[in-house]
Amino acid sequence: MITIKEISTKKEMKQFVKFPFSLYKNNKYWVPPIIKDEVDSFDKNKNPVFEHANARFFIALKNNVIVGRIVAIINTYEIEQQNIKKMRFGWFDVIDDIEVTKALLEKVKEIGRENNLEYIEGPVGFNNLDKTGVLVDGFDHIGTMITWYNHPYYSKHLEQLGFIKEKEYLENKFLFKNVDAKKYKRISNLIQKRYELKPLNFTSTKMIMPYVDEMFELFSKSYSKLSTFVPISDAQIQHFKKKYISFINPEYIKFVVNKENKLVAFAIVMPSFSEALQKANGKLFPFGLFHLLNARKNSKDVTFYLIGVDPEYQNKGVTAIIFDQYTDTFTPKGIENCIRTPELADNTAIHQIWRDFNPTTHKIRRTYKQDL
């Protein structure tokens, strides 16, 4: 018999977060989160995302053992301001038992109907900065700290239960050596002169902080036309600054400004923390922090986390300035692989940015939808 239990205590939340550790034990492609960080991200008193979102957490029990988990999410801004009547679900993990999947999803659908919502979609997080999608191809590639990994049967369960594909995301990678440094130096110089632009490079987190709010304004401006877009609140921006910016190597953040010193393009790249997180196995102490700091400094793989260009400057070659700066930064560090975060398959503008680098699609993920 399957029992669905709503959880709320800190002890239960820790069990919720730790369930995938048993589900993916000895899986060399799954990247575990830091347990404390994940628990804190679900704390309404610590994560400002809950200003515009409600979440309920459920586990599935069979013979008193956890066999599945799910988060039912209502983004109030999305519903009230954008008039998108969506019931979200995320942090979805189950054993290979379709009845467990069905029971968890029925609970989420029940909440959606109670709130007069029109459809359910997932797996998705609270907003654009969260993880998204169930992996449908590329199970033999290591995950990243900003994506979910899952077993191949997840999508099969969803499809058997009548869910249909809603959005598809591609994850691509390319060799850093595919970036023609001389070519991008030449184009960068040309674009800088033509549009009176200049790059900003940083050697400390303190130098970056004054630009972060403006960066998120540009993020919203450049991503607002995407079908998945949900605005990021000021409180969430401050939370992001405090939690993440200080941990990113400042040399890996690049900005481009115009003659008025207004930000027109940005990129955030992170060293790959995947192997370091696997070694940490959910804990910062006693050795997890060492592994993460070592990766921050020495990883030969990097992940392109965010890149944005003001619509006024799109299709003007501004990204050449960014890639020129990265070649200057990455070459002496011996960077080998550049990994991109999930990008909508129909986002042709973003795919155009990378076409010169001979990228290969190594993972495909999807969100699934069902009318309520």
Query: Domains plus CATH for the chain?
Result: 2-172 (3.40.630.30), 174-361 (3.40.630.30)
Q: What pTM, to 2 d.p., does this model score?
A: 0.92
Range among 169-178, 206-215, 244-253 with highest mean pLDDT value: 169-178
Cα distance between the two ends of the chain? 25
Residue 228 has pLDDT above 70, yes or no: no
On average, the pLDDT of the chain sits at: 92
Residue 31 has pLDDT above 70, yes or no: yes
Which pLDDT tens digit goes with each residue over 112-138?
999 999 999 999 999 877 899 999 999
Range among 74-78, 166-170, 310-314 with highest mean pLDDT value: 166-170
Residue 170 has pLDDT above 70, yes or no: yes
Which pLDDT tens digit goes with each residue over 339-369?
999 999 988 888 888 888 999 999 999 999 9
Residue 203 has pLDDT above 80, yes or no: yes
18 vs 216 pLDDT, higher one: 18
Q: For 9-22, what is the mean pLDDT?
A: 96
Q: Quick one: pLDDT at residue 82?
A: 86
Q: Quick one: pLDDT at residue 299?
A: 94
Calculate the alpha carbon distances from 18 to 2, 69, 160, 190, 274 in Å: 20, 10, 27, 52, 18
